[in-house]
Structure 1
Amino acid sequence: MNLLTLYDTEVRGSLVAPAPGYRVERVGPIVRLVGASPDPNDNAVTLAQLTEADADREIARQIGFFGALGHAFEWKHFSHDQPASLPEKLRAAGFEAQEPETLVALDASQNFADADLGDGIRIEELKNPGALEAIGVVNTAVYGNLRHSEWLVASIAKEKQSDPDAIRIYAAFAGDQPVSVGWVRHKTGDMFGSLWGGSTLKEWRGKGVYSALVAIRAHAARQQGCKWLTVDCSPMSLPILERRGFQRLSTTTPYIWSPKV
Structure 2
Amino acid sequence: MRADPIMCLYEKYERKAQFEELNVQRVADENIIKYIYKGSRPAFISYFEPVSLSINKLIESEVAYFTNINQPFEWKVYGTDLPTDIGKRLLATGFVEEETPSLLVCDIGNYQIDLTTPDEVECKKAISKQMFREYLEIQSTEFPLDIDEEVNQHWTKYENDKNCTIYVVYRQGKPVASARINFTPDSIFAGIWAGTTLKEYTGKGYYQILLNYRIDEAKQRGRQYIAIDALPTSRPIVEKHGFKFITSITTYIYRP
TM-score for both structures, normalised by structure 2: 0.91
Of residues 14, 27, 30 in structure 1, which corresponds to 2:29?
Answer: 27
Q: Does 1:223 align with 2:225?
A: no
Q: Is the 8 A contact 2:17 2:184 kept in 1?
A: no
Q: Is the 8 A contact 2:191 2:227 kept in 1?
A: yes
Once residues 213 and 156 of structure 1 are traced to their aligned partners in structure 2, the CA distance between those partners, rounded to angstroms, is 22
Kept after mapping to 2: 8 A contact 1:15/1:26: no
Instruction: Say whether 1:11 aligns with 2:14.
Output: yes
List gaps (5 residues or longer) in structure 1.
none
Q: By percentage of residues, which structure has more helix?
A: 1
Please list, as runs of the form range in 1=range in 2, the aligned pairs for 1:87-236 lying within 5 A after superposition: 87-114=87-114, 117-140=117-140, 142-143=141-142, 145-147=144-146, 149-150=147-148, 152-154=150-152, 156-163=154-161, 165-187=162-184, 189-236=186-233
Instruction: Confirm or deny: 8 A CA contact 2:127 2:159 kept in the other structure.
Output: no
Q: Name the aligned partner's letter for residue 33 of structure 1.
A: Y
Q: Which amino acid aligns with 2:241?
A: R
Contact 1:186–1:193 under 8 Å retained in 2 = yes
Deviations along 1:206-241, one digit per CA (max 9) or x if unpaired, are 111101110110010111111111011111110010
Task: Check 1:229–1:155 CA distance in 2 against 1; reply closer, same or farther (3 A cut).
Answer: farther
Distance 1:36 1:70 in 2: 12
Q: Secondary structure at the match of 1:20?
A: coil
Q: What is the identity, as a one-letter code, of the residue corresponding to 1:167?
A: C
Aligned pair count reads 252
Separation (CA, whole Å) in 1 of partners of 2:221 and 2:89: 40
Structure 1 residue runs of 4 or more that deviate by more than 3 Å after TM superposition: 115-118, 149-156
Contact 1:106 1:246 in 2 (8 A): yes
The amino acid of 1:66's aligned partner reads F
Provide TM-score, normalisation by structure 1.
0.89
Say whether the 8 Å CA contact 1:118–1:207 is kept in structure 2.
Answer: no
| Cα contact 1:50–1:83 (8 A) shared by 2 | no
Equivalent in the alignment of 1:67: 67
Q: Does 1:246 align with 2:238?
A: no
Amino acid at match of 2:187: D
Partners of 2:71 and 2:125 in 1: how far apart?
Answer: 34
CA offsets per residue over residues 81-104 of structure 1, 9 Å max, x none? 110010000000100010100111
Q: Which residue of 2 aligns with 1:36?
A: 38
Q: Percent identity?
A: 23
Structure 2 Cα separation of the partners of residues 116 and 203 of structure 1: 22
RMSD: 2.0
Encode CA deviations 1:29-57: one digit per residue, 9 max, x unaligned: 211112223531xx111101148x81111
Residue 189 of structure 1 and its aligned partner are, at CA, apart by 3.4
1:257 is aligned to 254
Task: Give 1:218's aligned amino acid.
Answer: I
Conserved 8 A contact 2:14-2:184: no
* Distance apart, 1:112 and its partner CA: 2.1
